[in-house]
Structure 1
Amino acid sequence: MKERLLSFLYRYSKKTVSLGELENLAAGDTRFEDFATIVLEYTNSGVLVPVKSHGTSLKNSLLHNSYRIVKSKLPLNYHRDIQTYQLALDPHIDLDPYYNLPAASWEQDRPWIEMIDVYLKKNGLPAVPASAPERAYQLVGDEKWIETGGGKALLERLNLWEAMQIISQPDPLMLAVNPPALQRETLLHLAVENKTPFHALLDTLPDTEFLSLIYGAGWKITADIVLLDKQLSTAGRARRIYYFGDLDYEGISIWYALYRYCAARPAVEFYQALLQRPAPQGKEYQRCNDQALQSFLNFFTPDQAKQISQLLTAGHYYPQEGLTRTEMAHIWRSTRWI
């Protein structure tokens, strides 16, 4: 109750407050005697100054019907910090719930709130829906933050959950199918990030051992991949999923989200081919997820891993389109995938 009253006094905009307004804060879970003790404590400390002309309470003559608030006497604590932050943050971020939470909650959440603030000031509220991993990556650079890192609870606390337009029900997975491959003991699937490599490889699918070629559409696959077995009626069958995306921090984070969900492997041979040519400059704005990068590099030789790490650090990247249609088709047909 004391914390709730203090929070109220910090936020109250008028100079005087009635005893009834203060008493409403104690409704249901605080005895009147305990409430009176807290009010008298703040009176003695000078935070509340009785307005004597308004008379005293019939319940307790030591309490007055109205008080003048002396905010300069309020204890300096994290509430002042919250007030300062609220003025500086994007107006869509609502910090009011923190006035009724322990200081530890504010300190724990503040770094995440600062990252969300940077995103909102730069981009505004999202205009289109996105999967949880994609939105998490956009907000804080960690694709698992919303689902397993407490991000959903924080966005709800900040009254931002609905505004973030996070997809809860996946769309149908976009894929082409090679029916003869259904006879294989282990079903193989290749997912590609962008539309160009999907079309480049589509005609080659019947010449491979793969059951499907999946168009990932960037982050969209991280939500839609759950429908793979249901759409193909292959639930319970052994499978192996390979992923080929842009060789940049975001492409690696998309792969890592799939890796965590369905153990998707990088289609290493495609990436190795990219490493044989010059890497263009760009994508410096992307954030590196260290855990995703390290997991990705573990699939390569030490020299290749070093090369990838250095080129990304230097602000370079490889788009999938760095390989020609002929090169991609040859790699897919000629590689021994299992």
Structure 2
Amino acid sequence: MDMAETMHRFLMDCGKKTILLEQMQTWFPKGEYDDFRLAVLQLMQEGCLEAVRNSGTDYGGLPRKFRINRGALFQSAEVIQRDAIRHALSARMNLRYYYEQPLPVWQEDFPYICRLSDWMKTGVARAVSLQQRSWDIFHDEKYLTGPGMTLLHRLKLSLSDLKIKEEPDPLMMAVNPATSARTVFHHLVVENKAPYYALVPFLRGSGFFSLVFGAGWKITANLKELPRQTGHADARHVVWYFGDFNWEGLRIWLGASESASDNLFVQLAVPFYQAYLHHEAPSGKENQQADEIVLESFVQTVGEPAGLRFRNILVHQRYYPQEALAQDELLQAWEELAYGAGTFR
């Protein structure tokens, strides 16, 4: 294997967009500069290496810095362009990513690219769910929830390009039929599974219409579906939120509050947070980003002096997980919330 071929292989493996001449020289023994120079000039002539302007030159006239042309390096561009013409691939797909990759990357994705191209040329106008569109294009309802998203990213395509409509996951909740005749419906949202399963056996006697598993940030996307999903779209709904007490949990609460509408009201389930204060806050969550705006909203809601205690907990990088409360504490907080929530008629 001559020096140019060896250099070619090194460049294929380096994974960089630019490279310094002195780094390339470390690949070969000293004292072979003439052969090294000829190998670099050969790769420049083939288009694999392009001189970076104003990088200067060494004593032999070689640029001190190069831009690596991965398309020429892997010789993928010619094959890709030929395939694109032969199969009349949609011009809406950007193939540039593949020009800079080894040819097997293109060959592995090519069957899926062809299916996607064929679909894009149909001019389908009706928006459908992600799973439905995945089936329409690839005959695999799960492809776009996995490797298909990587394919779209490589082709510089978005979900809107595929006419996919946003459909948040349905709320995961238990319903209390004993409260279905009321005109005001109260709901308790808990962030995690542990409090959900601890409280769900007691839903019927709680006075609440539903107990909702918020699943972290998911609740911020699908909470607005609650009135329609309950079958009482025109009634008044009051949502009480209870989550972990840390920066992320507070941001989720504030995000859920943004789902409020004329008939959907989001409140903080204060008694649950007050129950936290009966326990010592463990350390942890040091890497979460502080947010004074969301903390101030929380402090104003819980009031003083509890607000000051909660502020000190976060300042000292401590927190409360929902799992800190035992079942009896959760039930007591729920009873206090029901007592202070106003009418349940």
Q: TM-score with structure 1 length normalisation? A: 0.51
Secondary structure at 1:293's aligned position in 2? Answer: helix
Separation (CA, whole Å) in 2 of partners of 1:218 and 1:304: 24
Write the letter of the residue equivalent to 2:297. S
Secondary structure at 2:212's aligned position in 1? Answer: strand
| Aligned-residue offset at 1:167 | 9.6
Secondary structure at 2:259's aligned position in 1? Answer: helix
| Aligned-residue offset at 1:229 | 1.3
Q: 1:293 aligns with which of 292, 295, 304?
A: 295
Which residue of the partner structure matches residue 256 of structure 1?
Answer: 254
| Aligned-residue offset at 1:222 | 1.2
Which residue of the partner structure matches residue 173 of structure 1?
Answer: 171
Secondary structure at 1:183's aligned position in 2? Answer: coil
What whole-Å deviation, never above 9, does each CA across 1:101-155 have from its counterpart, x for those lacking one? xxxxxxxxxxxxxxxxxxxxxxxxxxxxxxxxxxxxxxxxxxxxxxxxxxxxxxx
What whole-Å deviation, never above 9, does each CA across 1:180-214 have from its counterpart, x for those lacking one? 21222321000000000000000111111110000
Secondary structure at 1:191's aligned position in 2? Answer: strand
Separation (CA, whole Å) in 2 of partners of 1:290 and 1:70: 47
Tell me which stretches of 4 or more aligned residues in structure 1 moved more than 6 Å: 159-162
Write the letter of the residue equivalent to 1:270. F
Write the letter of the residue equivalent to 1:209. G
Write the letter of the residue equivalent to 1:172. P
Which residue of the partner structure matches residue 332 of structure 2?
Answer: 330
Separation (CA, whole Å) in 1 of partners of 2:213 and 2:158: 28
What whole-Å deviation, never above 9, does each CA across 1:261-281 have from its counterpart, x for those lacking one? 224211100100111221111
Secondary structure at 2:217's aligned position in 1? Answer: helix
The answer as to whether partners of 2:220 and 2:256 remain within 8 angstroms in 1 is: yes
Which residue of the partner structure matches residue 317 of structure 2?
Answer: 315
- Number of matched residues? 186
Q: 1:274 aligns with which of 267, 273, 276?
A: 276
* Cα distance, 1:71–1:175 mapped onto 2, change above 3 Å: same
> Can you give the 5+ residue segments of structure 1 that lack an aligned partner in the other structure?
1-12, 14-68, 73-155
| Aligned-residue offset at 1:323 | 0.9
* Cα distance, 1:307–1:229 mapped onto 2, change above 3 Å: same
Separation (CA, whole Å) in 2 of partners of 1:199 and 1:160: 41
The answer as to whether partners of 1:204 and 1:333 remain within 8 angstroms in 2 is: no
* Cα distance, 1:285–1:240 mapped onto 2, change above 3 Å: same
The answer as to whether partners of 2:192 and 2:215 remain within 8 angstroms in 1 is: yes
Separation (CA, whole Å) in 1 of partners of 2:336 and 2:311: 27
Secondary structure at 2:318's aligned position in 1? Answer: coil
* Cα distance, 1:279–1:179 mapped onto 2, change above 3 Å: same
Separation (CA, whole Å) in 2 of partners of 1:306 and 1:313: 10
1:1-338 aligned within 5 A: 168-262=166-260, 263-335=265-337, 336=339, 337-338=341-342
Separation (CA, whole Å) in 1 of partners of 2:251 and 2:326: 24
Separation (CA, whole Å) in 2 of partners of 1:70 and 1:310: 54
* Cα distance, 1:70–1:243 mapped onto 2, change above 3 Å: closer
Q: TM-score with structure 2 length normalisation? A: 0.50
Separation (CA, whole Å) in 1 of partners of 2:157 and 2:219: 24
What whole-Å deviation, never above 9, does each CA across 1:40-74 have from its counterpart, x for those lacking one? xxxxxxxxxxxxxxxxxxxxxxxxxxxxx9955xx
The answer as to whether partners of 2:271 and 2:336 remain within 8 angstroms in 1 is: no
Write the letter of the residue equivalent to 2:333. I
* Cα distance, 1:300–1:170 mapped onto 2, change above 3 Å: same
The answer as to whether partners of 1:244 and 1:270 remain within 8 angstroms in 2 is: yes
Separation (CA, whole Å) in 1 of partners of 2:323 and 2:234: 35
- What percent identity do the matched residue pairs reach? 38
Which residue of the partner structure matches residue 28 of structure 1?
Answer: none
* Cα distance, 1:161–1:282 mapped onto 2, change above 3 Å: farther
Larger CA Rg, structure 1 vs 2? 2
* Cα distance, 1:278–1:219 mapped onto 2, change above 3 Å: same
Write the letter of the residue equivalent to 1:210. F
| Aligned-residue offset at 1:311 | 0.6
The answer as to whether partners of 1:190 and 1:214 remain within 8 angstroms in 2 is: yes
The answer as to whether partners of 2:172 and 2:213 remain within 8 angstroms in 1 is: yes
Secondary structure at 1:252's aligned position in 2? Answer: helix
